[in-house]
Amino acid sequence: MTLDFDEFTLCASTADLDVEPAARDAGADAIEFRFDLAVDPLAALDAYDGDLPILATNRVDWEGGDAADDAARLDALETAVEHDAVGAVDVELNALLDGDTAADHDAARVVDAARGNHASVVVSYHDFDRTPFRQDMRGFLGNALEHGDVGKLAVTAEDHTDAVDLLTVTHEYDLEGKSVATMAMGEAGRHTRAVAPVYGSKIGYAPVDPADATAAGQYDVATLRRLVDDLR
C-alpha cells in the first residue's frame, strides 16, 4: 500500500493491528504500528488484512521507545518493509548519523530496504526536554531530509513561544516544498498537533482510544481528525 505523504496523513498509533476497523471509522488515513510496544509484531503483520496502509515504527529506548538498541530491532524493520501493507518506515535520525554510537548496527540498511520495496522513509528526531532554537530545529529537519522522504521533529514545549517557533520552522520548510512532520509534546504544545498541519506538517499521530496514547499531549484519532479538518 502506498504512503507518500504528499498530503496530510493521520496515523492511528497502536501496538494492536486489530484496532484498524475502529481507526478507519474514526478517520485515520494509516496505522503507525509500534513494533516496540507489540508482543509479536511480525506475526501480527503477517496476519494483517486491514485496508489502511502501515507506517512501521520500532522506537529505540534512547528515543522514548521500548526497543533495545540491537541489531534485532533493525532486522524487524527490514522484514516489515517487505510486507505489502507497509507503505513507510520510521528510522531515528541519530541511528543514521555517521560516527554516532547509535549507528553501530547500520540503520541505513533499513532505509535501503525500504527504497527497494517502494516504501517511504520517515526520519525522526525527538527532544523530550525542551524546544531547541529555531536554527537547531531547521538543522535537525534538514539532516533528516537528507536521509528520508519526510523529516519528523517532536519537541517539548514549555510555553506558546516554543509552539510558535516550531510552527514557524514547519511553515518555512513547507514553503520550500519539503515534507516535514512536526509536533510539540506536553500541554503547552498540545494544540500544535491540530495546528501544525495548517502550516504544512504532513503527518499526525493519535491513538484510537485516548487511554492508549503513545506520546504526551496526543488527541484521539476522531478528535484530531475533526480539528484538522475544521482548521484546514
For 81-128, the pLDDT digits (tens) are 999 999 999 999 999 986 555 545 689 999 999 999 999 999 999 999
**Residues at the annotated binding site for 3-dehydroquinate?**
13, 32-34, 59, 193, 214, 218
pLDDT in tens, 122-147: 999 999 999 999 999 999 999 999 99
Annotated catalytic residue: which of 83, 118, 152, 171? 152
The active-site residue, picked from 83, 105, 118, 126, is: 126
Question: In order of start, what are the domains of the chain with their CATH numbers?
Answer: 9-227 (3.20.20.70)
Q: Whole-angstrom Cα distance, residue 118 to residue 99?
A: 28
Per residue in 156-186, pLDDT (tens digit) is 999 999 999 999 999 999 999 999 999 999 9
Quickly list H helices, the chain: 20-26, 41-47, 71-80, 108-116, 134-147, 160-175, 192-195, 221-231
pLDDT value of position 211: 86
152 given a catalytic annotation: yes
Predicted TM-score (pTM) above 0.85:
yes
